[in-house]
Amino acid sequence: MFQARDTSSENQGVLRTDVDISLKSRRKHIVRTFLRHGLALVFRQHGLALFRNGGVTLTEAEKSEIALNLRRAFEELGPTFIKMGQVLSTRHDILPDFICDEFTYLLDSVEPAPFSEVAAILQRELPKGLDAFHFIQREPIGSASLAMVYLAELKTGQRCAVKVVRPYVDRLFQTDIQLIKRWAARIYRRLPERVQSTVDFRGLLEDYWSSSIEECDMRQEAEHMAHHAEMMQVYERVRVPRVYLPPSKNVLVMEYIDGWTLKDFPVEEVTFEERFHMMFDLGHYYIESLLNGYYHADCHAANILIDKADKTAVVIDWGMVGRMDVQTAQKLLYMVSLINQNLCEEAAEVGLQILEPTEYTKIDEIRKKFVAMAPKYAFATQGQTKVNWGTVVTEVIQAGVQNFCRIPSGLALWTKGWMATEATARWLLPEVSYHRIVESYDTNILRNMLSHQMSYKTNGFVVAETARLATTLPRRLNSLLEKAALNRLGGYMEIRLSERANRSLNGMVNRVALAAVCSISFLASSVAIISLHWRISTVVNGFIGGGATAMAAVGLLSGMALIRQTRKSHRQS
């Protein structure tokens, strides 16, 4: 235990400045780690086996070995790769199931940083430094990949949990993400064209990058806590910890919750009625937040404590929180509600509105799959762990990917959050099916959707455009009648090629141009050779030979420039 009254330089700590997190050193470390775990295939063509529809077939033994080694490599590479693996574990639209399933076992428990470095961060970022605490324990009560949590007591006598971001983690993220973007771009160019049309690598990496940076900023986490605490005010049995001191970038001092996790709470200590109210409040709060475009992607049982004092459910970790399009979130919940009533055709139509079809998509096949899968979820029971509302959306995603649809941003993390809350409900109250929570909120879901559709703020653009049409209609109609009377009615039609057809046409033009240049170069070289055998004066022979040589040189340079431009346009496409 560290007594804050001792302010010697040894106890205050020193933050190292000689840590090497350069692009060169990280590149070497990452490559060596992958090679040491037998993952050389990532840097070869077989790396496409790591992607759904990548076109490479593996045996079951190879799948198991690759997935296990990949997870171990990610754990060894630290925070950037651990967090990326946790995000990728939900991306069944990109990675095959054997990779996603293995990534769910990624260990987020990491060896803590030296306390001297943690003390230096606290001394630097808190207004009173270490003097704000009566004591703080040297050993953390939690040590994850991004941050560590320490038990402490403020000078005011309040016990608190001090969350500190790991030293250098922001530099590590910035370095690693540059390397990941480069490698991802190379892999993306090697994917089949149909797969490229469905996978938004840039969007995925940007979402991962922005969410990770937010998770490393304790001020952002404090804002999430304040916002969701306001949303929870209408619920009696769910809350967030109170924040005691103004947060800084790397430090968050909040209420310490003396409670049980949902996995190990003693049932005899919490009555059925208390568990019932907690389950319904948690479920209804989460559904309400989803309807408004918010999701907590890490709301699992380990991140929810039952306070021993007031028997409330306290969500303690607010790092992985995100936003998504409100209309998409509403459609997802509406689809779940329709499936719950076994209205398969209607649910299939809503599911088709969520996905983004491409030119390779066969809509009828997706519709048939949706209609076929819906009944098994409509009649699912609490004990069917592999048939729940989270897997509904997962199966919708997989059906869309198999038919080359593009998946909306944030949908995978939304699904992860939904599955986590459903698992939470099972731990908390196995006697009552989670279906009942969804059913009890059907009316609120419909009211929320209608309130957004009928809101004058949402429909302000429609009102303005309608007013504009009404006021300009006489003038437009008069102009149309005048042109008709003078026989001047006409129009034009513009034909646009699809992106795929445009790329094919550009490729054909480039090949024709390249063939023409090569032909001219060959012809010029032939003339130059023939001229050497002509019995003409030296001046004429030299003139013809020199011109032909110059022509051949120009053709060669033009051909090289054209080849370079063709390869460049191919990479950009």
Residue 6 scores a pLDDT above 50: no
DSSP 243: B
Average pLDDT over residues 155-174: 90
Structure-model confidence comparison of residues 10 and 53, the more confident one: 53
Residue 243 scores a pLDDT above 90: yes
Residue 459 scores a pLDDT above 80: no
Q: What band does 402 get if pLDDT is binned at 50, 70 and 90?
A: confident
Q: Write down the pLDDT at residue 484.
A: 78
Residue 559 scores a pLDDT above 80: no
Q: What's the pTM value of the predicted model, to 2 decimals?
A: 0.72
Structure-model confidence comparison of residues 187 and 546, the more confident one: 187
Residue 422 scores a pLDDT above 80: no
Distance CA 402, CA 365 (A): 10
Structure-model confidence comparison of residues 406 and 221, the more confident one: 221
- State the average pLDDT for the chain: 78
DSSP 491: -
pLDDT over 90 percentage in the chain: 13
Structure-model confidence comparison of residues 253 and 437, the more confident one: 253
3-state helix, strand, coil in the chain (%, to 5): 60, 10, 30
Structure-model confidence comparison of residues 273 and 91, the more confident one: 273
Residue 9 scores a pLDDT above 50: no
Residue 492 scores a pLDDT above 80: no
Distance CA 456, CA 461 (A): 9
Q: Write down the pLDDT at residue 540.
A: 57
Contact between residue 282 and residue 238 where contact means Cβ atoms under 8 Å apart: yes
| DSSP β-ladder status, 238-239 and 259-261 | unpaired
Least confident interval from 98-107, 127-136, 404-413: 404-413
Residue 152 scores a pLDDT above 50: yes
Residue 334 scores a pLDDT above 50: yes
Structure-model confidence comparison of residues 90 and 102, the more confident one: 102
Structure-model confidence comparison of residues 410 and 25, the more confident one: 25
Q: Write down the pLDDT at residue 5.
A: 44
Residue 2 scores a pLDDT above 80: no
Chain centre distance of CA 353 = 20
Instruction: Return the closest-CA partner of residue 131 out of 291, 309, 12, 257.
Output: 12
pLDDT over 70 percentage in the chain: 77
User: C-alpha distances in angstroms, 559 versus 336, 362, 546, 562?
Assistant: 58, 41, 20, 5
DSSP 262: T
Residue 369 scores a pLDDT above 70: yes
Q: What band does 7 get if pLDDT is binned at 50, 70 and 90?
A: very low
Q: Write down the pLDDT at residue 1.
A: 59
Q: Write down the pLDDT at residue 139.
A: 92
